[in-house]
Amino acid sequence: MDTREKFEQRIRTQLDVIKETRQDNPAPQYNLLQTTGAMGFQLVEQGMRYSLDLLVHSAQIMIPLWQASLRLSLTGFDVMQNSMRESSSQESQATPARPDEPSATRGIVSFPPPPGRPAYTETQSVATPPTEPPPAAAAPASKAVPPAAAAPTSKAVPPIKRQPAKSAPMTTAVLTPQPPAKQDIAALAPEQSFYFQGPDGNYNITAHNLTEFLRGMDSIDDETWLYHLHRGDYTNWFRHVLHDDELASTTERIAQEQGNMPADSRRQVRAAIQQRYAITL
């Protein structure tokens, strides 16, 4: 019988004793509590022992695996290092140059001249072919070269002069000066002032100049604004009272635009006035 079965048997026996004894006798209950605590402590101890054994066995299995993995990594590193060393040694071996190949001289290039002419040299950063002229072919023995057929006296080839690149002529943009903005007009007489009233006469805002006109147009509703705009009241006041045909034409074009919202037409009329007059609100 193992330890667990022994503890269970003892607990059953003590439970029977508690049922048979009186309720006010604490001794059997204390014995049951002591037995239960001892059983729990022993179970915990056994569990810890089993866990420790499992951890030790796992470490005994994993440590050789880690060692083998480390050996394989070191072996692969040695192989790669040897391969790199062999590649560098092969690249470092210089190949002997053939006598008929051009020498890599940086800065001067010499071209073999034709027979009877001097060599021509140009400064570049390319390979230099051999500068010695090839031997002239011997003339056939059976034919004599007449004096008239002799090669003319060679002349020195002048060096090439590099012309600097011509830059495009610089052009200066001429800005047309904009006419200065006009100053706001003085206060007009009551009969020449503009009156914001609306279709029902709900407003009675007077504008004696353009500054008051801009303030008044922000104080009215959209219905009153569109009423005066579509009737041409703004256009007539600009043209016949202020004598500004350009501002009147701009306002008339804004009024004729289809689908123009009241806020958009207000903003456009304000921008047209402030573009022509120095008005700061």
Boundary-marking domain end, from 39, 54, 85:
85
Contact indicator for 129, 102 with CB cutoff of 8 Å: yes
For 140, phi then psi, to 5°, come to: -60, 145
Assess if residue 208 is contained within a domain: yes
Assess if residue 104 is contained within a domain: no
The burial class, CB within 10 Å (0-12 / 13-18 / 19+), for 195 is: middle
Model confidence band, residue 38 (pLDDT cutoffs 50, 70, 90): confident
Please state, as a whole number, how many other Cβ atoms lie within 10 Å of the Cβ of residue 226.
Answer: 19
Helix, strand, or coil (residue 43) = helix
Model confidence band, residue 173 (pLDDT cutoffs 50, 70, 90): very low
Percent of the chain whose predicted confidence (pLDDT) is above 90: 35
Nearest-CA neighbor of 30 among 21, 9, 76? 21
Assess if residue 40 is contained within a domain: yes
Model confidence band, residue 185 (pLDDT cutoffs 50, 70, 90): confident
pTM above 0.85, yes or no: no
CA-based angle 238:241:247, to the nearest 5?
A: 20
Domain count, the chain: 2
Which residues constitute the domain of residue 224? 194-276
Model confidence band, residue 42 (pLDDT cutoffs 50, 70, 90): confident
